[in-house]
Structure 1
Amino acid sequence: MTSSAPADRLVLALAQVNCVVGAIDANLDKARAARREAAAFGADLVMFSELFLAGYPPEDLVLRPAFQDACRAALEDLARDTADGGPAVLMGLPWMQDGACHNAYALLDGGRIVAVRFKVDLPNYGVFDEKRVFQPGPAPGPVAFRGVRLGLPICEDIWGPDIVESLSETGAEILLSPNGSPYWRGKDSERLAIVTERVVESGLPLVYLNQIGGQDELVFDGASFIVNADCALAGRLPAFAETVAKVVFRRGGHGWFCEEAPSAPSLDDDRADYSACVLGLRDYVHKNNFPGVVLGMSGGVDSALCAAMAADALGPSSVHAIMLPYRFTSGESLTDAADCAKALGLRYDILPIAAAVEGVEAALAPLFAGTERGVTEENIQARARGILLMSVSNKFGPMLVTTGNKSEMSVGYATLYGDMNGGFNPIKDLYKTQVFRLCGLRNGWKPDGALGPQGLVIPQNIIDKPPTAELRENQKDQDSLPPYDALDDMLECLVEKEMRLVEIAARGHDIEIVKKIERLLYLAEYKRRQSAPGVKVTRKNFGRDRRYPIVNRFRDKGVPAQLPDFLIAPESPIGFSERFED
């Protein structure tokens, strides 16, 4: 027999719990643990995120009959648990019916599967590719649960008005929406705006439960929330943290309203970006069973920020930092790298690369005789470092962290099989200006749950000095690139906003410089295809979002006929080399 809640009160448990794609048994264990926690505070119903049993996004795994069978068997096991009179369960999983695979949400109560609803609106844009593996379901009606009619729109079903309108018209009283909504900067406010629209249109309260955790390049930030029928924000769960939260609804004269829920603070964009990078790195390492990480420590901001993120994600004892100096490495860089590793509490070693570099050059000498030294010889240094770091990874098991930022990856300022080596890149989607900003942020703030030390962990000199690859004498990044504030603005316009070159020039940039940056962006596509995965934090990252052809002869000529000539900025004295590596 199931317990019966009073008709005017519903205690809901929101299980913002980290699942693992494909780990069906482990996900089932986590669901049972969350249900026990919910039972302890008297929950009537415990709600899980979209496709929780399978993990999200499962991609082509859902096409395997054995995977579908395992998910269904786990659901039936969990359904039998509900015969104990404890909380009912709302659980997401792939569901086969009449030869079609659906993104489903099932109500389990009284020892059985009481109802199943299918996702209708399958997203097929950006990082989403659900039409590849799922079939849309019919318009769902509400589900009756212990005297309450629950509407169960699944994720994308609330991003347009139709499904919620249908649920409202067919008698739903509360909307419970499971989500697998990945993080990018500003996403929290977008979700709240969409939910508020649905609440205004339907006149119903809405619970937005989001997934938490990292999955490959995606990070799901949780940050679940409840909006009452009057559009007031009734509660919010923490971002980037697991929790099983108690939420109490009561029926009043004007319908149901949330009278009790947690109220966690929201994070500003920079803190959210940093937290996303830490969670993405932590889950990638842990979910792939690496014992820790190793990274090259150059004395620059990129490796310093990655080291701080790794310490925060995994704990300092799980991070091995290695300085790999050559004759162009300055004493300043040696000091800065050592000071940063010490401040973070990392194991720190120095492996000089002279013998490796000179050995490669000696082997190539017969073929290179009579040629001038240049980018090729510079890249031998980067590749020697890559070989040594990968060898440490292979010998002892830690994953090699890649440390290149989005600015470098955009224009090809990186060496294949050198500094691009590694298994995962926590700052892959951060522009260089953001890297500087997050270094300063981390020195004055540490995220909740971070395992690294408090205080100034990135020496100020690393932040203040001009960036350099140190592959030749007196080299500076901006010998080859425009200033990073200008470069990053151009790149954001090209990558995230897909703007015309003349529109970018109208922001104050030299049109010829913009053309060169666009050209470098296209030319570097083949490198990016071979780069390590990394955390998505912008609206459009390289990989899952931005999919450009490698063979690509298109160039924006920069002067569209529909825009007047006065929008074209005058020539700028800024100049730079188009050829970086390879």
Structure 2
Amino acid sequence: MKDGFLKAAAFSPALRVADCTYNAQQILEQLQAAAQRGVKLAVFPEFCLTGYTCGDLFLQRTLQQGALDALEWLLAQTRTLDTVALVGLPLLVHGKLYNCAAVLCRGQLLGIVPKTYLPNYGEFYEKRQFTPGSTEVQTVTVCGQQVLFGTSLLFRCRQMPSFVLGVELCEDLWSALPPSTFHALAGATVIANLSASDETVGKAEYRRALVANQSARLLCGYLYASAGHGESTTDMVFAGHDLIAEDGSILAETAPFAGDHAETELDCQRMEVERARNTSFEPSAEGYVTVEFDLAPEETVLTRRIDPAPFVPGDPQRRAARCELILKMQADGLAKRLEHARAKTAVIGISGGLDSCLALLVAVRAMKQLHRPAADVLAVTMPCFGTTKRTRSNAEILCGELGVSFQEIRIANTVRSHFADIGQDEKVLDVTFENGQARVRTLELMDLANRTGGLVVGTGDLSELALGWATYNGDHMSMYGVNAGVPKTLVRYLVQYEAETAATAALHDVLLDILATPVSPELLPAKDGEIAQITEDLVGPYELHDFYLYYVLRCGFGPAKIYRLAKAAFAGRAEYTDAVLYKWLRNFYWRFFAQQFKRSCLPDGPKVGSVTLSPRGDWRMPSDACATLWLAELEQLKPGEQ
């Protein structure tokens, strides 16, 4: 439960139709085992105490009483279980029969939620036996307990206020306006659906999409527990297709007919963050009653996969499609800017590194989109003190294969003249030595763009902007920054994708060699012809920084939770000890706050994903904000002192 994590499970126990005693025993066995695994929310199917396929037997008082007896027995048997459980049963209230979900915890009935929408088409005929539930909440007596009854009920955990449970049943989700919509607007962060969805061809895919989309629309966790083996097969079969989704993603699922259960951890805290930032999500709790309950606070062991590369799809096909889409977005943004500015050229400083390579590939695509020759792209290499033969050669080969105009400007003399102007000793390899070169490069590009009637295309990426790894008014500045929304981990895959689809073998080979070249600004003198300045040795591994960046900006999590997630995501990686993860997380926060002034005046550039640092778009932050609170929280987490 720490950090907002809730261990939850959806079950489809094998049952016997109308055998309430047997069914309750099956439920209890699974519930007890789940509680031992730390499950705090357990959802069972619709009518799991009786079976969904009882037909007109539901109208028999014997079956109704049998379900109540089974529920009372379950309440007695679960007094010591620290788990909220939901079970389905028929319930007679004021002479009418309802299809209900009973919510129980530690032997207490927290509430009973009736089904709102009763299907009466195709193979379903629930209106024959049941009455739709009402939003009006009333008090009824069930199993000797006074309990609230109605659809407008929510259940909140006192020890974990971000866990607010709403309940609906099967058809409710499939309706045009599901009750869960209102539950979420009233504050529910988790929706439980007790279902008895029979299986037909194609239905599993539709069901999966329905659950995922509802969790995305409502910014919630969604558990769907469906009836399985043991239901009558007179006219239907039930596959026990259980699903758990969170904010549009399926986290856990049982394959139809697998006879298993779905179990994972929901991040209730994330749901609160998502809703706080979404101004279209307008709370409305009118008519709702919230029942509070207690669970013993404990740290939830994470079993859900924490992706170490949240910006990069793991599936090769999805990744290729994502790369193609991003390249099209970047190219279209640049094409529009070139067209609007009537630019005769797109001027790019090409270093032989990844970022400038990607910018060049995008520029060539933009010219093609505008039906202009690739030669309208002017690629400029500006060798100086740190340039190596490898990067210089790769830059020239790349430009030749792409058919762009290529120019070399040796800037060493200009830099030396500049150093003389300001009194900088060339032998002092300090920040002035480095930034002086970067600013001269930008000067050359800007003036060359003026001379050729063009505009300068920026090459810096999202990760560099987050860390401030750019020279202010040097490579920090351009007339359009095509890579500004692309994190470094994704830059690699975009270039790799272009290599895999390259028109020539030479282009394929040079792109792969650029990928294999260490990331470096090449601002310090080379050693024995090799790159002397490795960026990741100085600022840290980009895969860690991109991971931190995602959870800081996209999820709004604090340092403690991000550190915990990082340990889970990179577990098993020997190079990423707790101390290493901590060191670079602290470095990330320090740099992120200290370097905001560079992001406050960024050039225009296209947003391509959900995380961006444009001061005009998604990220507005004062340049003089203090990192004190974040660093203080991190100070409590030093490895060995936890």
**TM-score (ref. length: structure 2):** 0.44
**TM-score (ref. length: structure 1):** 0.49
